Homo-oligomer: A and B are copies of this chain.
Amino acid sequence: MSHSARIERALETAVASAQAEDAAPGLAAAIRYAVFPGGARVRPQLCLAVAAACGDGGHDLVDAAAASIELLHCASLVHDDLPCFDDADLRRGKPTVHAKFGVPLALLTGDALIVMAFDVLARAGVADPVRLPGLMSCIARGVGAPYGIVAGQAWECEITAPVDAYHQAKTGALFVAATTAGALAAGSDPAPWRALGEGLGAAYQVADDLLDALGDCEESGKTSGRDDALQRPSAVKALGVRGAVALLESHLDRAAASIPECAGAKALRETVRVQATRLVPKQLARTAA
């Protein structure tokens, strides 16, 4: 089964657990809407790719880790889009969850997705409990306080924020969770995989700044120009478009170079290359990518 198929199957199983004939219908619908259809599923793809590079052949706990991370990512998008943060109407080319279901259900949808993300780990962990605590803590660190994506969003509520810590928490932390959780779920040491997550997370943050600044709503599928409107730090503002593209490419090179020697290293470098072509906005892509 392809990685994409494994991810969608694990997400479908998770989302189905929240649907029931006697469930509150609005919440059930909003949860499904927040998860399907997805974006590129970058983080769970990365998680599965690292697990495969570590020699995993299709362990349930690996799929659960990938789904958990994507559910947490979806939760963060739903909450970040709310009027009290980005106030965004558009996400993945369709109305945001609160634009379609209202603010109260959007808030609850995010909450339910966070709970679901850990329940997914629990269900798969029954067959493999020894790997479960480390995997949970690894993913929790990428999401919660003080260094996960929730903390990253919290830096936007401060008058000043250290840019590196802000970006690392807001974007990098969940990429690091994706690579290290992939290794952990496959029974491998997570430490050698941190740098890959950090490099890709940093690249992704610059790519996001570029997409936002270049204002290509069609390509990004979301409201653009928000960094500027909300006075958030941006690589484009600091370095200009050319400087930001160079920075993005250096992050990607660093990420690819960090991949440790292992059975699946070659395939994983190819995955990183494919992600790279996705990350650089089309109008700026280097020919080689």
Residues of B within 8 A of A282 (CB): none
Does chain B have a CB within 8 A of A36?
A: no
CA gap between A153 and B28 in the complex, in Å: 13
Does chain B have a CB within 8 A of A163?
A: no
Among B75, B105, B140, B158, the residue within 8 A (CB) of A25 is: B158
Q: Are B112 and A84 touching (Cβ within 8 A)?
A: no
Residues of B within 8 A of A123 (CB): 133, 137
Looking at chain A's contact residues, is the secondary structure mostly helix, strand, loop, or mixed?
Answer: helix
Instruction: Give the Cβ gap from A25 to chain B, nearest Cβ, in Å.
Output: 7
> Contacts A105-B157, A118-B140, A140-B119; is A79 near B132 (CB within 8 Å)?
no
Q: Are A150 and B84 touching (Cβ within 8 A)?
A: no
CA gap between A20 and B150 in the complex, in Å: 15
Residues of B within 8 A of A27 (CB): 145-146, 150-151, 154, 157
Q: Which of A130-180 contact B (CB under 8 A)?
A: 130, 132-134, 136-137, 140-141, 143-148, 150-151, 153-158, 161-162, 165, 169
Does chain B have a CB within 8 A of A23?
A: yes
Does chain B have a CB within 8 A of A129?
A: yes
Proximity string of chain A (72-97) to chain B, C-beta cutoff 8 Å, 1 when within and 0 when not: 00010001001011000000000000
Copies in the assembly, this chain: 2
Q: Are B18 and A144 touching (Cβ within 8 A)?
A: yes
Residues of B within 8 A of A144 (CB): 18, 111-112, 115-116, 119
Does chain B have a CB within 8 A of A122?
A: yes
Does chain B have a CB within 8 A of A268?
A: no
CA gap between A157 and B114 in the complex, in Å: 20
Instruction: Give the Cβ gap from A133 to chain B, nearest Cβ, in Å.
Output: 4
Residues of B within 8 A of A165 (CB): 22
Residues of B within 8 A of A85 (CB): 104
Instruction: Give the Cβ gap from A178 to chain B, nearest Cβ, in Å.
Output: 16
CA gap between A193 and B104 in the complex, in Å: 33
Q: Are A103 and B84 touching (Cβ within 8 A)?
A: yes
Does chain B have a CB within 8 A of A188?
A: no
Q: Which of A96-117 contact B (CB under 8 A)?
A: 102-105, 107-108, 110-112, 114-116
CA gap between A165 and B151 in the complex, in Å: 35
Q: Are B133 and A130 touching (Cβ within 8 A)?
A: no
Residues of B within 8 A of A196 (CB): none
Instruction: Give the Cβ gap from A243 to chain B, nearest Cβ, in Å.
Output: 27
Residues of B within 8 A of A169 (CB): 24
CA gap between A19 and B115 in the complex, in Å: 22
Most chain B CB neighbours (cut-off 10 Å) among A31, A157, A158: A157
3 closest residue pairs by CB, A with B: A115-B144, A23-B146, A122-B136
